[in-house]
Amino acid sequence: MNVQFKKGVLDLCVLAMLNDSDRYGYELASTLSEIIMISDGTVYPLLRKLASDGLVASYLQESQSGPPRKYYSLTAMGKIRLAELLEDWNNFTASVNKIVGGKSV
């Protein structure tokens, strides 16, 4: 996948995943690295940046195995940002699809 596409949508993907449910870092990292093929270590600095922007919050929760896990959740501000990003994304993909939709080489 084009590396520049990934950069643009990484925030969106993280926020969207957190909108479904609270998740811990490993979960986010492994899912994202699987789907859009980034290295796992990328996700943690991104989460930290989102937290410092107030878009996500973190809390510790006991797990069945091992030490408590650090969960991330979407804040109200994060929801707003997600809505904005989603709108941008949908507009953008719709526009691009008008041009490239259904074409193959």
Binding residues for another protein, per CB under 8 A? 1-8, 10-11, 24-26, 29-30, 33-35, 37-42, 44-46, 48-49, 51-55, 58-60, 65-67, 69-70, 77, 80-81, 92
Nearest-approach distance from CB 74 to another protein, in angstroms: 14
Signed CA dihedral, 97, 32, 22, 71: sign only: negative
Nearest-approach distance from CB 98 to another protein, in angstroms: 14
Nearest-approach distance from CB 96 to another protein, in angstroms: 8
CA distances from 51 to 27, 35, 58, 97, 104 (A): 17, 23, 8, 33, 40
